[in-house]
Amino acid sequence: MTIQEELQATISDMVQPGKGILAADESTPTITKRFQAVGIECNESTRRAYRQLLLTTPGVGEFIAGVILFEETLAQQADDGTPLPELARRAGIVPGIKVDKGLTALANAPGDKITQGLDGLAERLAGYKEQGARFAKWRAVYPIGPANPTALGIQTNAEVLARYAAICQEAGIVPIVEPEVLIDGDHGIAQSEAVVEAAQNEVFAALKRHRVRLEYMILKPSMVVPGKACATKASPEEVAERTVRILRRTVPAAVPSVNFLSGGLSPQEASANLNAMNAGYSNLPWLLSFSYARALQEPPMATWQGKAENIGAAQAAFIKRARLNGLAQRGQYQAAMEQD
- CA torsion sign, 79 to 90 to 65 to 171? positive
**What does the alpha-carbon distance between residue 41 and residue 27 come to, in Å, rounded to a whole number?**
15
Alpha helix segments (H runs only) across the chain: 3-14, 28-37, 44-55, 71-74, 84-90, 121-130, 151-170, 189-209, 236-250, 267-280, 294-304, 311-329
CB-based contact 181:222 (threshold 8 Å): yes
Measured CA distances, 68 to 26, 175, 307 (Å): 9, 11, 24
Distance between CA atoms of residues 12 and 6, nearest Å: 10
| Contacts of 259 by beta carbon, 8 Å cutoff, 6+ apart | 20, 21, 176, 218, 219, 220, 289, 290, 291
DSSP structural state of residue 66: E
**Do 15 and 287 meet the contact criterion of CB atoms below 8 Å apart?**
yes
The answer to whether 38 touches 302, Cβ cutoff 8 Å, is: yes
Residue 152 φ/ψ, nearest 5 degrees: -65, -40
Contacts of 147 (CB under 8 A, 6+ apart): 110, 111
The answer to whether 47 touches 73, Cβ cutoff 8 Å, is: yes
Amino acid identity, position 62? E
Q: Active-site residues: which are they?
A: 178, 220
- Torsion-angle region of residue 281: left (phi > 0), alpha (psi -120 to 50) or beta? beta
